[in-house]
Structure 1
Amino acid sequence: MLSVRFMYLSSFRRPSVAGYLLRRSWSGRVLLCHRAGMAVSVQVHPSPKCLFDEPVQVRVGGLSPLQQVTMKASLTDEKGQAFHSLAFYRADEQGELDLSQCPSLGGHYTGTEPMGLFWSLTPATPFTRLVKRDVATSPLCVHIEVFDGHGTLERLPEQPLAACINERWFMKEGVRRIPVREGRVRGVLFVPPGSGPFPGVINVYTIEGGLLENRASLLANHGFTTLALAYRDYDDLPNDVINFDLDYFEEAVNFLRQHPKVKGPGVGAMGISKGADLVLSMASFLPDVVAAVVINGCITSAVFGLCFKNKLLSTGLGYTTSRIQIAESGVADIVEIMNEVNKGSVIPIENTEGTILFIVGEDDKNWKSKYYADEAIKRMKEHGKDKYELLSYPGAGHYLEPPYFPFCYASYHSVIGMHSMWGGNAKAHSFAQEHLWPKVQVFLQNALNK
């Protein structure tokens, strides 16, 4: 039993990693510009190419002593949506700038934040969430530019002093991406390089439909054979659903367990939002799910009913639209719309023989995730169960993604059919994403390598 609550501290660092990076040689795709007889350069270390969940070090050289500059980052997603961030810095006495050592004086974030330019990327079109669907053939390319002086996006000089590109990939060399159409199961399997077998994990995403593969592909990079499992509006899976069938998820578990690259005998499951209550149901009813990562989930089947073995387990926790509040920004605040939980419909969490990792954004505005996690743990304690862990993050919202995904304040909510706020603030939310990711990997390794 472990329960930990994390406060965000702006001084959070990786001293050992930073020390290692500082001792490595520099390389990168660099655009040099000349100013006052000096070549200004910006470099991304240790390489201009990295995995998406890896931190990088950004440094600028050739500036004047104590020169004020604006650092800008930008990218364009697969749909052509633009994202950008900027921060104000001042070079040191030698005319150098290291974002892992120097504080931002203003802009999209303040303080010493080595990856601030990345997690503070903001959509040019409001209420747009960064989504990466093609994880195999193309990276997300972050353009980093240095401008003289401190200026807004609208008032920056036409030409930067220097620029470079950081390619952030989702699959490392040797990871195999295998589309899955096995029986009813639809999804994509990611297999790590090497002979294996490896711990097996099923990743279940939100209710929005389709299939997002970013979390599954990144887990495979860390040694997990991971199934990104679709369950709605993908391939031949239906869009209009009244009740989800837990038998489908059992079929996915059996498919993964029997794969030659999966260690077994049990597998893990990881889900966020609606995917989290499905994972909680899997852990409660399917004995081969021996580890569950539940990110901002509910304690009963939310919105949709749940069936298993031709029996209706839950009619689904409904919501009342009249309780929607419209914020000054024009987006919906829906945190109060979910109906009161009927204690008789709570997922029988006490049935699980495995272990559960609850992850909570305490400022979740989609629903009351902290309350649901507290009630789940209370129920487990009442039944003498202590195989759980809790990571609880003040200031974090609903969409807890892998590290360095930009914070999303609000975007379209497919269930209520309007733009909805997700909660949290950028700095604390991004700290949570960075902190929880290695914790998840350790949890799964410990649970699945027994």
Structure 2
Amino acid sequence: MVVTPSDALIDVPPRIVVRGAAPGAEVLVRSRTLRNGVVWSSQASFIADAQGEVDLAVTAPAAQLAGNSYQVVSATGLLWSQQPEQAGQREQFHRDVQQPLETQLHAVSQGHAAQATLTQRLCAEGVTRTEIRERGLVGTLFMPAGPGPHPAIMILNGSGGGINEPRAALYASRGYAAFALGYFKAPGLSPYISNTPLEYFRDGLDWLRARVQPPGDFVALSGQSRGGELVLLLAATFPERVSAVLAYVPSALVHSGQNAADPAVGREGPTWLLQGKPLPHQWQGNRHASWKPFDDGPAPHRHELAMLTALRDADAVARARIPVERIAAPVLLLSASDDGSWPSSRYCEMVSTALHRHPYPVEWHDYQQAGHSILFPAVPTTQTSYAHPVSGRVSTGGGMPAANALADAHSWREAQAFLQRAVAAQLDRKVSP
């Protein structure tokens, strides 16, 4: 068994080839990865070609053989199809993101065996990690190797809260000064999203710019889910501070606290404050909004169904709409057609329509049959139903594992290309007379 490369960043797809089998023989390949203390595993059976080889990049698992974890041609199929051997576990990375993931690969055919190890990293050599606890900010700064200066990006999590170190580490490995900023459910912060001041993020942008002094003053925003809503809102509220926006499965509207709300405030209470005042949100004064389709709907529960009821009130939608036309930067929108958390495809259509005359590039990728969790390549995509980290309510993010894997890989490539173009364009503007 040959794995090429055998040790690389997680976004580099490995080529896995088994050689030396009898032509036409069945070859069973298994994977086993320890992820944050929990074993995840998968398997697939293939038929060796006339040369006695199986190349996972060009060969699908044999449909006539049982027990396959995935069914399509995919170089990373054994990774994204993994299931945790301990039910209910969803953590895909070690708590220490500088610790690589080690996957043991084992092939068996007609009594003969081969094995190999695949090492996947979030942190390239020389990337540094610094915990930030200053000016009231709680986050982690990852800096690329080399003196810089480096373009900067601030990364915001969704309604699960916490600090998104994995994405920041990978961005730093690709040349960006990446600041993963926590805003709730992080050390010293509220355990809930309710009543979060937007000025906190303004201060985070200012701190990042002053700390890393990026070329061309370039500071981008990336956020997923509620973080996707948030980055659009921040770019519309503080347009002079934002150089590019990457909105993963975002909302076009300001939402209430929902599943991440403080129970004392309630899930229909406000999320964001500006100058100490709550921003109008989708549920506020809404004549049609109802939690019933989510709360009482069939399992796995789809939060999206409740969001659709709220969209029926055009006046409430208009009051809660994020004024994205105020954004003074390029925008990348990433949505999923089977999003079980909220209708991100419809939301992105609303944003795209509002930006139809935007003076900056606007890109939108809508991933068919994919769900709410769009991350980056070669991570497990099987755990679509889960208990919410704050409310504990069980629901599904939607999507099929293979479609989720394609969305992960394609979105990461597009995000890198989008940022490269945005950085180049801002540098051109800065040097133009």
Alignment TM-score > 0.5, same fold: yes
Residue in 2 that maps onto 1:217: 169
Q: 1:91 to 1:293 in 2, by over 3 A?
A: same
Residue in 1 that maps onto 2:364: 390
**Deviations 1:251-297, CA, capped at 9 Å, x for gaps:** 00001111235224241000000111111111101121121001111
Q: 1:160 to 1:333 in 2, by over 3 A?
A: farther
Residue type of the alignment partner of 2:250: G
Aligned pairs for 1:224-373 within 5 A: 224-260=176-212, 262-286=214-238, 287-304=240-257, 305-315=271-281, 317=283, 320-324=290-294, 330-338=299-307, 339-340=310-311, 342-373=317-348
**Deviations 1:66-107, CA, capped at 9 Å, x for gaps:** 2101111122221x3332111110112232222123221141
Instruction: Indicate the structure whose relative CO is greater, using CA pairs within 8 Å and at least 6 residues apart.
Output: 1
Q: Is the 8 A contact 1:141 1:168 kept in 2?
A: yes
Q: 2:127 & 2:179 partners in 1: Cα distance?
A: 13
SS of the residue corresponding to residue 446 of structure 1 reads helix
Indicate yes or no: 2:69 matched with 1:103: no
Aligned pairs for 1:62-211 within 5 A: 62-78=20-36, 80-106=37-63, 107-148=68-109, 161-211=113-163
Q: Is the 8 A contact 1:69 1:88 kept in 2?
A: yes
Residue in 2 that maps onto 1:417: 392
Residue in 2 that maps onto 1:45: 4
**Cα drift, residue 385 of structure 1:** 5.5
Q: Mean alpha-carbon deviation: is it higher for 165-174 or for 246-255? A: 165-174
Q: 1:55 to 1:46 in 2, by over 3 A?
A: same
Structure 1 unaligned residues grouped into runs of 5+: 1-41, 150-158
Q: 1:295 & 1:137 partners in 2: Cα distance?
A: 24
Q: 2:251 & 2:421 partners in 1: Cα distance?
A: 25
Q: 1:355 to 1:397 in 2, by over 3 A?
A: same
Q: 1:419 & 1:438 partners in 2: Cα distance?
A: 31
TM-score if structure 2 supplies the norm length?
Answer: 0.86
Residue in 2 that maps onto 1:31: none
Q: 1:45 to 1:206 in 2, by over 3 A?
A: same
Q: Is the 8 A contact 1:199 1:445 kept in 2?
A: no
**Cα drift, residue 334 of structure 1:** 2.1
**Cα drift, residue 188 of structure 1:** 0.5
Residue type of the alignment partner of 1:139: P
Q: 2:98 & 2:177 partners in 1: Cα distance?
A: 19
TM-score if structure 1 supplies the norm length?
Answer: 0.83
Structure having the larger proportion of residues in helix: 2
Q: 1:229 to 1:393 in 2, by over 3 A?
A: same
Over the aligned positions, Cα root-mean-square deviation in angstroms equals 2.1
Residue in 1 that maps onto 2:260: none
Residue type of the alignment partner of 2:33: L
Q: 1:274 & 1:317 partners in 2: Cα distance?
A: 15
Structure having the larger proportion of residues in strand: 1
**Cα drift, residue 315 of structure 1:** 4.4
Structure 2 unaligned residues grouped into runs of 5+: 258-270, 427-433
Residue type of the alignment partner of 2:185: D
SS of the residue corresponding to residue 314 of structure 1 reads coil
Indicate the percent of aligned positions where both proteins have the same amino acid: 27
Q: 2:380 & 2:249 partners in 1: Cα distance?
A: 18
Alignment: residue pair count: 396
**Deviations 1:40-82, CA, capped at 9 Å, x for gaps:** xx221122x221111111111222222101111122221x333
Q: 2:371 & 2:274 partners in 1: Cα distance?
A: 31
Q: 1:317 to 1:139 in 2, by over 3 A?
A: farther
Q: Is the 8 A contact 2:252 2:321 kept in 1?
A: yes
SS of the residue corresponding to residue 186 of structure 1 reads strand
